Amino acid sequence: MMALALAALLVAHFIRAMRQANLFAADERPRTIQLMVGLSIAYVINAVLPFRLGELARGLYVAVRANLGIGRVLATVLAERLSDLVLVFAALSLFGLADLPTILILAAGIVAIIATAWALRLCKPARRALWWAASIFNERIRTTIADFAWSMVKLVASTTLVRPRYLALTLAMWAAYLAAYAAFARASGYPLAEVVTAMVDSPLRSLLDRSREMGSAIILFTSLAALLILVLGLATDWRGVERSVARVRRLGLPLVSSADPSLRNAFINRGDYGAMLRAHFTDADPLVATFGLHGLGEAIVHRILPGGSDAITAVVEIEQRFGIRKFATGPAAAKLIEQAEWLDAHAGDLPLAEIVDRSGDERRFRYDMPYFAGARDLYEVAHTAPSAHCAELLEAVVTGVAAHHEVSAAGPCAPEALARYVDEKIVANARAALDFARLQLPERYAINGQPFAMAEWAPLLDQDWLLKQFTRTGTAAIHGDLTFENIIICDRAPGWYLIDPNPANRFNSPLIDWAKLMQSLHLGYETLNRGAPARISDDAVTLMLAQSSVYAELHAHYLGLLAGRFDAATLREIQLHEIVNYLRLIPYKIRNQPGRALSFFACASLLLRRFEAEHG
């Protein structure tokens, strides 16, 4: 009969391992034998030590053998123990097998775990408190604690523990445990109720402590099955265990998991996953946190790309297919929808990024574009390829965009729309820029040793003067953000395509596209975004001008291309639109990158001075 009890106990342990495996994403699921060995280690330690300390060793073993984050594994251990607590609490309460203090302790444990999970899910102060408490540790351990909390919330505060397969395995597991306990009761002569009570009603006591009440037979019964699994597992996987121990000694534990347990997502890059956890628990970057919660779907995130917009851009993998995903929330989500609609509408007129999938609404929206190996933006190509080749690429882009402007040409901008454009995009932004600058600079200041004055911005506050400057009022379906980083060079015909349009302008002048190219080349916009921000010392601003020698050559070439297409008056308006582009960037920088806002204010000052010097 004891042999039958041991066999039933082994079956129950096997089903428990299968059940725990269901708490992992399919592509990260540990082997069943690894989970069984981890469980056996826990039983052996729990036989001697109280407070379920063996569960830590269990999580550590599985994390090392399956190369998963220990926080992620411990979250599955906590989740499955929670479901056991609920079942045991219901059974003991229903059949009256435990006294009131035990029932209350079990209820308190259940409520504490569930309440903590929901508090971390819904309450920002709770997440910030956890992050603050974890800050006493180093960065790796703090991130692991956040990883554990994140994973625990996704398991406990979701439908994971009530899915049919998980519930069926839970019932089958406890049926096997009860069969094992019944067989042990018959073999040992103890009443079944006493055996069940001894096994489940004091989860924080060690088995050694409970043996004082029931004798050593109960230790033999529970430990022998664990030792058999332990010996079998180590014997069949000894080389793997040996390699894991060596790796831990050499590199340390895999502290951070890369998977979202309920959405089957992953962050391949540990830094990206850590940034997402930090954003979620500190609310420092709500967009990154929301991307982790709602922007992934079934995707695996390989890399989050740098960008200067209100959207997240990432390289993702979906069903073994790579793509570029853009995700945004709130007003930026509405802009993404406009982008997607514009890319669809003009796919036959220009080389544009193809949208292969989209999801969401104006609250949260994402779309996916194909990923082409070797594709790079024109900024990177310009600084790594021969200048003659880059000049050819620039000519091809100019020719293609000019043809699109002709095909999509519309009538002149309505006077009221132009007036609103001037008021909202120029006057209002100029005021915001001056208000920001005056917090740090006096009315007279210097940029790289040259004297400047706030008074030079006066024309940008004069709506009547500004309206007289815009004489080329024809409109078209413009791209709206034609900078070098939005021009992608690839080996597919015609060799380039455009991404990230910004078509929502009150004044859709084709000159805006030409001014955007000027914005890249004239002062080195892309490098300005990547380099050190401007510095203030007394009344002076030090700005590292970012136009590289390559950009200087391309700028001269581009001016020649424009001179071949437009008269002097049109070129003058393109320069004015370039100033407007910087004005539109400054409020965004003030909101999102205040350290760089002064750089763009200084650039606008330089452009305004040059415009005045050339045109009066």
pLDDT digits (tens, 9 = 90+) for 210-231: 555 555 677 777 777 777 887 7
What does the angle CA 108 – CA 112 – CA 114 come to, to the nearest 5 degrees?
120
More confident site: 500 or 252: 500
Q: What pLDDT is stored for residue 372 in this prediction?
A: 87
Q: What is the mean pLDDT of residues 445-467?
A: 94
Q: Do domains 285-370 and 376-615 have the same CATH topology?
A: no
Q: Write the CB contacts of 312 (distance below 8 Å, at least 6 apart in sequence).
A: 287, 288, 291, 295, 304, 325, 326, 327, 328
Q: Report pLDDT for 243.
A: 57
Strands 540-542 and 444-447: parallel
In this predicted structure, the answer to whether residue 297 has a pLDDT above a threshold of 50 is yes
Q: Is the dihedral of CA 501, 502, 508, 512 positive or negative?
A: negative
Q: Per-residue pLDDT averaged across 2-22, rounded?
A: 89
Among the listed ranges 38-47, 83-92, 278-287, 352-361, which one has the minimum average pLDDT value? 278-287
| Range with the poorest average pLDDT among 385-389, 453-457, 466-470, 547-551 | 547-551
Query: What local confidence, expressed as pLDDT, does residue 58 receive?
Result: 87
pLDDT higher than threshold 60 for residue 460? yes
Return d(Cα 25, Cα 349) in angstroms, integer: 43
Residue 203 has pLDDT above 90, yes or no: no
As a whole number, mean pLDDT of residues 369-388 equals 89
Q: Please give the pLDDT value at position 237.
A: 67
Average pLDDT over residues 239-253: 55
Q: Judge whether 608 and 460 are in contact, CB under 8 Å.
A: yes
* pLDDT value at residue 307: 62
**What are the CA-CA distances from residue 336 to residues 329, 341, 361, 372, 486 (Å)?**
9, 9, 10, 21, 15
Taking only the tens place, the pLDDT of each residue in 145-159 is 888 888 898 888 888
| Residue 489: predicted pLDDT | 94
Residue pair 615/459 in contact (Cβ under 8 Å)? The answer is: no
pLDDT of residue 594: 84
For the chain, give the percent of residues with pLDDT over 90: 40
Q: Tell me which DSSP letter residue 318 carries.
A: E
Most confident of 41-45, 186-190, 402-406, 489-493: 402-406
Spell out the SS3 assignment of 43-68.
Answer: HHHHCCCCCCCHHHHHHHHHHHHHCC
Contact 39, 14 (CB under 8 A): no
175 vs 278: CA distance, rounded Å = 42
Q: Is the pTM of this model over 0.85?
A: no
Confidence of residue 251 (pLDDT cuts 50, 70, 90): very low
Question: Is 308 a residue whose pLDDT tops 60?
Answer: no
Domain boundaries, the chain: 2-259, 285-370, 376-615
Q: How large is the average pLDDT for residues 448-474?
A: 94
Report residue 354's pLDDT band, with 50, 70 and 90 as the boundaries: very high
The CATH number of the structural domain formed by 285-370 is: 3.30.200.20
Model confidence at 258: pLDDT above 60 = no
Residue 610 above 70 pLDDT? yes
Between 430 and 136, name the one with better pLDDT.
430
Residue of 367, 379, 385 lying closest to 314 (CA atoms): 367
Tell me, what amino acid is at 431?
A: R
Please tell me the predicted confidence (pLDDT) of residue 265: 45
pLDDT for 215 equals: 58
H or E element in which residue 212 lies: helix 207-214
Please compute the mean of the pLDDT values over residues 197-208 and round it to a whole number.
63
pLDDT mean over 449-453:
94
- Rounded Cα distance between 287 and 159, Å, is 25
7-11, 278-282, 412-416, 514-518 — which is least confidently predicted? 278-282
Query: For tokens 């915001």, what's the residue?
Result: 432
CATH top-level class for 376-615?
alpha beta
pLDDT at 424 over 80: yes
Model pLDDT, residue 232: 77
Rounded to whole angstroms, the Cα distance separating 328 from 363 reads: 8
Cα(22)–Cα(109) distance, rounded to whole angstroms?
23
Give the pLDDT confidence score for residue 208 in this predicted structure: 60
What mean pLDDT, rounded, does the chain reach?
85
Band the pLDDT of 205: cuts 50, 70, 90: low
